Structure 1
Amino acid sequence: MCLKCNLFDFILISNVLPFCSPRVPSLKRIGPHNINILNILIGSLLGDGSMEREGNGSRFAFYQEKSHGEYLLWLHRTISSLGYCKQEIPIIKTRKGINGEIRYFYRFRTFTYSSFNWIYDEFYPKPLGRKVIPKIIDQYLSPMALAIWIMDDGTLYKNKGLKFCTNSFTLKEIQYLSFLLKNKYSINSSIYKITAVNQYNIYIPKSSLNILIKIVKPYIHPSMYYKLNLV
């Protein structure tokens, strides 16, 4: 089963739902939301995705460097076709990097929904003020969400295994993710410390990579095949 078949079988329905209009106040955007869009949105929060509180609701923000533009534009097409963001194609923007170099990137946001507030509260609990891994992630770490996580934050490691760049999460949160990979999908992983203080990554060894590929390949955009050493 392909991602396109999974998602687009209900596009015609979602596009006429009243909460998917840009002119609807966030308090009236109450869902219900199809599990596929929740998997995409929550899967993105494991990687580069973020959320913002805006008035009475919350929205998702997606960001990718120009080198991953094809993936970002595909993600936008998918989410806009489901009625969750504007249809205007994101344009390339620039910003200064740490060393003053010019960085090129794409960025877009979803509409603001009051029915997204529970996701924001789970991933950005007060008073921490940072993104965390909530316990509810076990309910949403589907093959589709796992694929989004890989496309956002996965890296082929020495042409053998896969590394998740989980630098922003605590060791306890990363241990929970590692446990879920084993418990839900029988995927072995290890956690190793990187050079930065109190930062850790998850490593999927070559012995478990084939299991992972079988689970997520139907949902991986072709521009991201290289992350799994696929051709």
Structure 2
Amino acid sequence: MEKNWLNTSASFKAKVIGKLLGDGCITMQEGRKPRFQFTHVSRDYSWSNYCYLQLLEFLPLSPPKYKKNIDHRLQQGYSLSYYVQSRTADMITYLRLKWYPVNKKKIPFDLISKYFDEQSLAWWYMDDGHLKLEGNKPRKIILSTESFNKSENSWLIDFLKEKYNLHFYLDKQNRIILYDQFQIYYFLHLVTPYLHGSMHRKFLKSCEYRFHIPNKRTTIYLPTSIALKYPTKEINGALYELDKLINIYKRGKFYKRNFFLFNENNEMPTKGYQIILESDNLSRLCFMKGVTGLTFSKLAEISFKTTLY
């Protein structure tokens, strides 16, 4: 049975792991062999069908079927959904043993440690993730992990921190949540290449580069190790380096080049400088803040570290 699993592609394994962390399950009636299954609300039919097509290569799945569920707790008295179910197969029996060792879904730490990747994260997020916004500003990402126990969720938190440097926290509802805005943008950077178009509610709107912004007086906070004699002139001069940073971002290398930002000590002493930001630099700052969540002050600090680029 394990051989069938091992003979599948890395991409397939990643998707199955993401699906089973999310809305996927492996059901088994008494005296019968297990079946792979997932259900989505009717508005997510496109996502259901996409998952069906993506997994069909190695799983004997039937196409999505429409289902009306009577539920008197709902105002309309029912809910509409599409469900996909498989026929029986040796690989599904193997996955049932790994994910349901005591007839209840448990996290198979060994499989996740070996096969989980950004595609797994994206499928998990599309199934059980929520992006909370205020305007177009992200405030938190929630992964609904209530079905796992606290020990399993603590393991997931440690795993995501070690693998991606993402610092999730467990809330009172036993969900794991990402609060830090810079890390939220990084999370979305990781999963966006795999997000399905029907999941637009879990995307951020694209940030446009704005030109001709009027000069602005503001306060920039920099580490005391950066000593300035002529703040307005020196900070504006350093900010021209943001062109390099923007180019790095557009080539998809921003987070790799700036991984130190995840581990920086944010309690280092700083000094505030009241300056006038030039129009061109405001355009640069607004764009980079819009795509990374970093503050003007942090972007100015990075600009002084030109040797990193």
Q: Does 1:176 pair with 2:155? A: yes
Structure 2 Cα separation of the partners of residues 64 and 30 of structure 1: 27
1:49 to 24, 43, 64: 24
**Residue identity opposite 1:216 in structure 2:** V
Structure 1 Cα separation of the partners of residues 43 and 163 of structure 2: 32
Other structure's SS at 2:105 match: coil
Contact 1:57 1:115 in 2 (8 A): no
2:78 to 97, 102, 105: 102
Q: Give the drift of 1:94.
A: 0.5
Question: How many matched pairs?
Answer: 195
Higher relative contact order (CA 8 A, sep 6+): 1
* Corresponding residue for residue 176 of structure 2: 202
Counting aligned pairs with the same residue, the percent is 25
Q: Give the drift of 1:83.
A: 5.0
* Corresponding residue for residue 70 of structure 1: 46
Q: 1:93 to 1:56 in 2, by over 3 A?
A: closer
Give the number of the structure whose alpha-carbon radius of gyration is greater.
2
Q: Give the drift of 1:134.
A: 2.0
Q: Give the drift of 1:140.
A: 2.2
* Corresponding residue for residue 60 of structure 2: 85
Contact 1:162 1:227 in 2 (8 A): no
Other structure's SS at 2:101 match: coil
**Residue identity opposite 2:87 in structure 1:** F
TM-score (norm 1): 0.76
Structure 1 Cα separation of the partners of residues 198 and 154 of structure 2: 29
Q: 1:91 to 1:210 in 2, by over 3 A?
A: same
Contact 2:60 2:89 in 1 (8 A): no
Q: 1:84 to 1:134 in 2, by over 3 A?
A: closer
Q: Does 1:120 pair with 2:96? A: yes
* Corresponding residue for residue 155 of structure 1: 130
Q: Give the drift of 1:145.
A: 0.8
Q: What is the aligned-residue RMSD (CA, Å)?
A: 2.2
Structure 2 Cα separation of the partners of residues 62 and 97 of structure 1: 19
Structure 2 Cα separation of the partners of residues 130 and 230 of structure 1: 39
Ranges in structure 2 where 5+ consecutive residues have no aligned partner: 207-309
Structure 2 Cα separation of the partners of residues 98 and 144 of structure 1: 37
Residues 16-27 of structure 1 mapped to structure 2, 5 A cutoff: none
Structure 2 Cα separation of the partners of residues 189 and 91 of structure 1: 35
